[in-house]
Amino acid sequence: MSSKRDEKEGLKSRLNKTKIIEVKRLLQHEGCPICRACDEYLERSLFWFFAEAYGEGVAVSRYIDRWGFCEKHTKMVAKSGPKWQKTVIYSWILNAKLPEIQVLHKLLEAYTESNFVKRIAVLKELKNTISKARPRGGCYFCETIAQTASSYVHSLLDALAYQEVQNLYRKSTGLCIPHFFQVLELFHENYVQQLKIIVEVQIEQLNRLKYDFDEFFRKEDYRFSNEPKDKEQFAWIRAIKLFMGNTCPED
């Protein structure tokens, strides 16, 4: 009994160590560590998507329901992936959706041929058919990225309980705003110390940006306009990156 418990504890500690190593690795790079994790995941998952997942139930029903993917991931699919798989995906969507549009046409015919009483029932069926046929549900890639982000947000909070990770985090550029608020949504008394560090780093990051904006406007003043222009000229680009993050889900 106790050996089973030891085994479980051993596995938990190994998982914990793996998480810490992964978070530390992500913090070595510039930019939001969660965005980076999502980008890396997307790169890996794109390979597996075209190798296998494109033909599996969950993915198939997602892209059929949605008539494909969100705008961002449609561009990604269009650019990468083999022609065969892309043809299969879009032909399956068509095979599933065309009959629904044909039903829609039959219902419109039935509507025009019906009397007033029957029209109410046809109209109800028509509305149901439209809502079934129209693009609905989330994008397959957006959804899997959201799951990845959620898992890494938890890993970050767990890893930030350790001093070595805290030191590394304080030297980092912090999180993008969407992931910053995703972390804050996990407020729990066990995480107060970690959240405090995250908010402190975020304030530092925002203050750096504010300084650059102030510098930009100062140099626009005729009294200082001869000063050489510097990184404050591109502060707006950093603001967009910070406020949007790399991975913005479609909705």
Judged by the rule CB under 5 A, the positions of this chain that interact with Zn ion are 32, 34-35, 70, 73, 139, 141-142, 176, 179, 245
Q: Which amino acid is at 97?
A: K
- In angstroms, what CA-CA distances link 116 with 119, 122, 127? 5, 10, 17
* 119 vs 241 by CB, closer to Zn ion: 241
* 89 vs 139 by CB, closer to Zn ion: 139
* 63 vs 141 by CB, closer to Zn ion: 141
* 70 vs 157 by CB, closer to Zn ion: 70
- Report in angstroms how near the CB of residue 101 gets to Zn ion at its nearest: 24
* Contact of 158 with 21, CB cutoff 8 Å: no
Radius of gyration of the chain (CA): 25
- Integer Cα distance of 96 and 196 in angstroms: 50
> Exposed e or buried b for every residue in 216-238, given b needs 16+ CB within 10 A?
beebeeeeeeeeeeeebeebeeb
- Report in angstroms how near the CB of residue 141 gets to Zn ion at its nearest: 4
For residue 68, give the nearest of 49, 90, 84, 87 by alpha carbon: 90
Q: What is the DSSP letter of 228?
A: P
* 127 vs 170 by CB, closer to Zn ion: 170
- Report in angstroms how near the CB of residue 219 gets to Zn ion at its nearest: 30
- Integer Cα distance of 118 and 110 in angstroms: 9
- Report in angstroms how near the CB of residue 193 gets to Zn ion at its nearest: 21
- Report in angstroms how near the CB of residue 205 gets to Zn ion at its nearest: 12
- In angstroms, what CA-CA distances link 96 with 77, 102, 106, 213? 20, 11, 17, 52
- Report in angstroms how near the CB of residue 76 gets to Zn ion at its nearest: 8
* 185 vs 189 by CB, closer to Zn ion: 185
